[in-house]
Structure 1
Amino acid sequence: MSTPDQTIHASTAGFDDEAVLLIGHGSRREKSNEQVRELAADLESRLGIPVDAAFLELAEPAIDEAFAQLAPVTSQVTVVHCSLFAASHVKNDVPLAIEQARVEHDLEINNGAHLGVHPAILELLDDRAAAIERELGVDREADEVAVVVCGRGSSDPDANGDVHKLARLLFEGREFDRVEASFIGVTEPTLEDTLHGLSKHRPDAVVVLPYMLGDGVLTQRVRDWTAEFDDEYPYVDALAGDPLGTDSRLLDVFADRWEEARTESVEMSCDTCKYKVDLEGYEEDVGGARAMLRALAHQEAHADRDDIDEEPDSHDAPEKHVAVCTNQTCAKMGSPAVLERLRQEVRDSEHCDARITRSSCLGRCGDGPMVAVYPDGVWYGGVEDDDAERIVGDHLDRDRIVSELVDQTL
């Protein structure tokens, strides 16, 4: 398993069959990153094959670095997601990184699913609830116990819907008075609103389960809001439990996701994916090109708000984001030189607030090198490195489109 101080886990040396890459989000809190590495080490023991950890951002190694480390020593990599639900990271960011790795390395890469809704997770949550019940001195069979499953919250309705599904499955067949889904931010209902709503039913106890992996700022916020509710409503005992952490039952889920990926039986919620179907209120997110550009911007600009005292939906995005296709066809036509020249022009500019990122295929093979500017939705085709100065100086600095290079607009 790779760490910031090791290029690759010793057990992978000379291994040429299969390895697993466990991908976590990454955090400024090293404790959270170590949690992912611990899960990777435990999964390695469970599966009996090498398992390395990688991160989307804020920690090392990055996904592209991890693939580069694995490429010389294995022929097949199975990606397992250390993500609770399928939002933008799972649907866009990691697939983009995988496509890039397929271009750059001679690797067979299988992409698994997120943790999702799984019987082992329901069992884990039930045990977390039972621990709080013991601490509060209540019995769900004799007392009225309400449970709140509190997620982080997402801009993806599919992911939020799964929190509600999880809450319902936790309720079915158990003696809880009720089980509600809530969120810390981004979407509704918020934990505060859910708790105050439950007070009207006057349960004997309210058990709050933070549906998160790490124990960071957001889990502490769950505890704080629950404690405030407990003080405000003395006739209801309320207490928040622990996040999922590194519980061994997560390994059961990871093992299932690994097996699904390597046997090509991964199932995703495509019927409710806002990037593939036209959902009310999310029409602008439909379409591969739009989704890809949004994902690239998010990947570069997203800050890990679990680690700072800000709302979890805060972002500090650049004014412009430029994606340069470096897939095989565009690369042969000179896109790497275009990429580097654009980066140099941006560095030399005094006013340009833009990030330049390589991308996988933009679906315009033969018309490249392709350069896409987000959020403007302007795609340039047949770009040469000498055109970089005009793209930066005119478009990125002055918002003047270089019309003769335009391939299409979205």
Structure 2
Amino acid sequence: MSTPDDTTSDPDDTTSAPATAFDDEAVLLVGHGSRREKSNEQVRELAAALESRLGVPVDAAFLELAEPSIDEAFSHLETVVSRVTVVHCSLFAASHVKNDVPLAIEQARASYDLEIDNGSHLGIHPAILDLLDDRAAAVEAELGVDRERDDVVAVLCGRGSSDPDANGDVHKLARLLYEGRSFDRVEAAFVGITEPTLEAALHDLSKHRPDAVVVLPYMLGDGVLTQRVRDWTAEFDAEYPYVDALAGDPLGTDSRLLDVFADRWQEARTGSVEMSCDTCKYKVDLEGYEEDVGGARAMLRALAHQAEHADREDVGDEPHVHDAPEKHVAVCTNQTCAGSGAATVLERLRQEVRDAEDCDVHISRSSCLGQCGEGPMVAVYPDGIWYGGVTSADTERIVSSHIERDRIVSDLVQQTL
């Protein structure tokens, strides 16, 4: 992002660009981050293209594995603008969109003098369907097949998530890609975490003996997972010589993505963001995901994930190696708890842990835990124990009994998850 010119303009100079409503506003395009710099560079290219499209400064930031981090980006933006709109590169609404980025935004709101609007994920959009159709057509041309005369099957391969809402959207997108087009069928598959996996889906399709299978990696960048999709498709092609199979390119930096980003930016800055709350496992009871309702576990996972990356980077290790601590303790430092002495409790817990022998725990601040008036609140994860009304005198018992010996301090328990 270009910084504003600090020189004083001449009021009589009619060649100067007129002021706009966006002069004090910027956009932060948030990508996941990849070990492959090519993938990270694609996010930066999209940010530059979106800046030209919107006429608003656009910076790129990453959740992990690449720089700058979200916090570093906000720190820079505070020096040049007063309002920032966050636009996500995430394809679907899973934990990064629902937990990790919102947590980073709340921390930024507390740390920086910025008005921050949070947008939604890319989601299902007509421009993306058109782009996927073109990606499929490119593979068909390379294979020498025509879906109008040949039996061509498309497989839309997503990353896979522990969030059923996100996985369901992959299936919806696959169905929309099928509607109105001449594919023999369009199937959804995943790299991992959930089923069907791409390998299983391809083997099942071989029984139908199509002329060709077009695999569409539903990923933004050309990273590790995209290469895995290509490798699995090539293995399938070699194993089943009577079916031609080839994987296409990811979404990349196609200009049609700018249509989606522009819509998400406008929604965010006008307060019209819509999320699929009716099928969100953090808001409603879904079979098999009952313990996730309320989002508390997800919030603690996000804190632990964030802290683990910080710890690894502090000692110079590769940042995505997850040697998570045995326990994570989150202390609510929101306004009510802070007024009840949360800061002192936080520091005393850290001191007790430093004094303890062989204590594998990470202690961090958290935003509101929704128990105002019952604090200071201390949550111990993964045990799911929330202590309420904790004083500095209680910190020694929490560490010596619960953290070191797994003995819950029952008289302090506010609730269990």
TM-score (norm. length: structure 2): 0.87
Is 1:381 matched with 2:374?
no
Shift of 1:71: 2.6
Aligned in 2, Cα 1:354/1:29: closer, same or farther, shift over 3 Å?
farther
- In structure 1, runs of 5+ residues without a counterpart are 2-8, 304-313
CA–CA separation in structure 1 for the residues paired with 2:309 and 2:169: 23
Q: Which amino acid aligns with 2:270?
A: T
CA–CA separation in structure 2 for the residues paired with 1:12 and 1:57: 32
Q: Which amino acid aligns with 1:132?
A: V
Aligned in 2, Cα 1:330/1:214: closer, same or farther, shift over 3 Å?
same
Is 1:247 matched with 2:240?
no
3-state SS of paired residue (2:182) = coil
Query: 1:357-376 maps to which residues of 2 (within 5 A)?
Result: 357-376=364-383
3-state SS of paired residue (1:148) = strand
CA–CA separation in structure 1 for the residues paired with 2:5 and 2:211: 53
Instruction: Give 2:220's match in structure 1, choosing from 213, 227, 231.
Output: 213
Aligned in 2, Cα 1:163/1:77: closer, same or farther, shift over 3 Å?
same
CA–CA separation in structure 1 for the residues paired with 2:324 and 2:412: 26
Shift of 1:379: 1.6
Aligned residue number for residue 363 of structure 2: 356
Aligned residue number for residue 182 of structure 1: 189
Shift of 1:272: 0.4
3-state SS of paired residue (1:131) = helix
Count of paired positions:
393
Aligned residue number for residue 5 of structure 1: none
Instruction: Give 2:133's match in structure 1, choosing from 119, 126, 134.
Output: 126
Aligned in 2, Cα 1:190/1:165: closer, same or farther, shift over 3 Å?
same
**Preserved CA contact (<8 Å) 2:23 2:56:** no
CA–CA separation in structure 2 for the residues paired with 1:201 and 1:127: 24
3-state SS of paired residue (1:21) = strand
Instruction: Give 2:268's match in structure 1, choosing from 261, 264, 280.
Output: 261
- In structure 2, runs of 5+ residues without a counterpart are 8-21, 311-320
Identity in percent: 83
3-state SS of paired residue (1:361) = coil
Shift of 1:249: 1.4
3-state SS of paired residue (1:253) = helix
Shift of 1:188: 0.6
**Preserved CA contact (<8 Å) 1:79 1:112:** yes
Aligned residue number for residue 196 of structure 1: 203
**Preserved CA contact (<8 Å) 1:16 1:75:** no
Which sits farther off after the overlay, 145-154 or 213-222?
A: 213-222
**Preserved CA contact (<8 Å) 2:35 2:223:** no
Instruction: Give 1:51's match in structure 2, choosing from 58, 62, 77.
Output: 58
Aligned in 2, Cα 1:302/1:142: closer, same or farther, shift over 3 Å?
farther
3-state SS of paired residue (1:193) = helix
Backbone CA RMSD of aligned residues: 2.4
User: What are the Cα deviations for residues 70-127 of structure 1, in whole angstroms up to 9, with x where unaligned?
Assistant: 2343222111111010001111111122222223333222111101111111111111
Shift of 1:292: 2.1
3-state SS of paired residue (1:181) = strand
TM-score (norm. length: structure 1): 0.89
Is 1:102 matched with 2:95?
no
CA–CA separation in structure 2 for the residues paired with 1:335 and 1:37: 40
Is 1:346 matched with 2:365?
no
Larger Rg: 2
Shift of 1:376: 1.5
3-state SS of paired residue (1:101) = helix
**Preserved CA contact (<8 Å) 1:146 1:178:** yes
User: What are the Cα deviations for residues 158-217 of structure 1, in whole angstroms up to 9, with x where unaligned?
Assistant: 000000011111111111111100011111111111111111111111100111112222
CA–CA separation in structure 2 for the residues paired with 1:273 and 1:56: 22
CA–CA separation in structure 2 for the residues paired with 1:148 and 1:407: 48
Shift of 1:302: 7.9
Aligned residue number for residue 308 of structure 1: none
